[in-house]
Amino acid sequence: MAQNVGGLQINGPSVFAVASVYENVVTAVGQTLSGVGEVTQINGVNISDLCSGCELTYRFGGYTVTSLSASDITFSGGWINFYLGSGANNDFNPFSSADSSADLAAATNGSLFLTLAGHQIDAAGNTFAGEGRDIGTSSPIGFGAGLADVDNTGMANGNTAGGGALANSLFDTNTVAAAFGGNADFQLGSSFSAILLPHPGECTDGQGPMCVAGSADIRGVAGVIPEPQTYALLLAGLGVVGFVARRRRI
């Protein structure tokens, strides 16, 4: 099953996206993790083969450190916005850009494609957890995992992107089993280190804007985007349900 979303071919039902990630260093409870990245493959197929002259980039933020040791870290909250860029907006390349500000601009200058919010992974309400070594220092190494939900408002956990993302209805499937808060829509994984940084000159003290780099796995299940006439039927059905509910209250 293949669906064209804004020019990008999504082959379902399962979606496995491989991505790069560039993020800041966090060293204390209460600090917030943020960064940018680019999705390079979906289901093992390069993005360049799924759309003509486009890129799929993302920005994330709002992941607040709730616990921290040299070997473990947990976060609450969090949001991720994906952007589909083409033409002049197909321009994300941290290793040829001027600085992290240019990376942020290039990662967010396309059409809003998907908006996600962190989903609870434990009884404490955390949404992402990592482990490794030297966490909380300027040179951490490790990996992490978490869950996320499609956020149709684009406003959860401090996000400001707003609604209307192109692929939200495609991925709002609630098919990822979760122990807390019902099923999720996405599994998230990442590896991170202070090696091979695109702008090492910004990270002399390890505290620059994007001083950790790595890779990310983003797994979800693609459904089917309803056709316009299907939306009309759904709205009509909701109207009937509301009418029956009112009659029962009378």
What does the pLDDT read at residue 135?
A: 97
Is 85 in contact with 54 (CB distance < 8 Å)? Answer: yes
As a whole number of angstroms, the distance between CA 167 and CA 5 comes to 7
pLDDT(232) > 50: no
What does the pLDDT read at residue 225?
A: 59
pLDDT(145) > 70: yes
Q: Mapping DSSP to helix (H, G, I), strand (E, B) and coil, where does residue 241 land?
A: helix
Report, in angstroms and rounded to the nearest whole number, the Rg of the chain calculated over CA atoms: 19
Buried b (16+ CB within 10 A) or exposed e, 93-132: ebeebeebebbbebbbebbbbbbbbbbbbeeeebbbbbeb
- Return the domain boundaries, the chain: 2-249
Whole-Å CA distances, 92 to 107, 176, 201: 6, 30, 19
- Residue 153's φ and ψ, nearest 5 degrees, are -85, -25
pTM exceeds 0.85: yes
What does the pLDDT read at residue 30?
A: 98
What letter would DSSP give residue 227? P
What does the pLDDT read at residue 65?
A: 98
Dump pLDDT digits (tens) for 30-52.
999 999 999 999 999 999 999 99
As a whole number of angstroms, the distance between CA 130 and CA 78 comes to 14
What does the pLDDT read at residue 250?
A: 41
Q: State mean pLDDT over 68-72.
A: 98
As a whole number of angstroms, the distance between CA 166 and CA 172 comes to 12
pLDDT(218) > 50: yes
State yes or no: cis peptide before 200, omega within 30 of 0.
Answer: no
In what helix (H) or strand (E) does residue 33 lie, and over which residues does it extend?
A: strand 32-42
pLDDT(246) > 50: no
Q: Among 28, 19, 20, 21, which residue's Cα sits nearest to residue 138?
A: 28
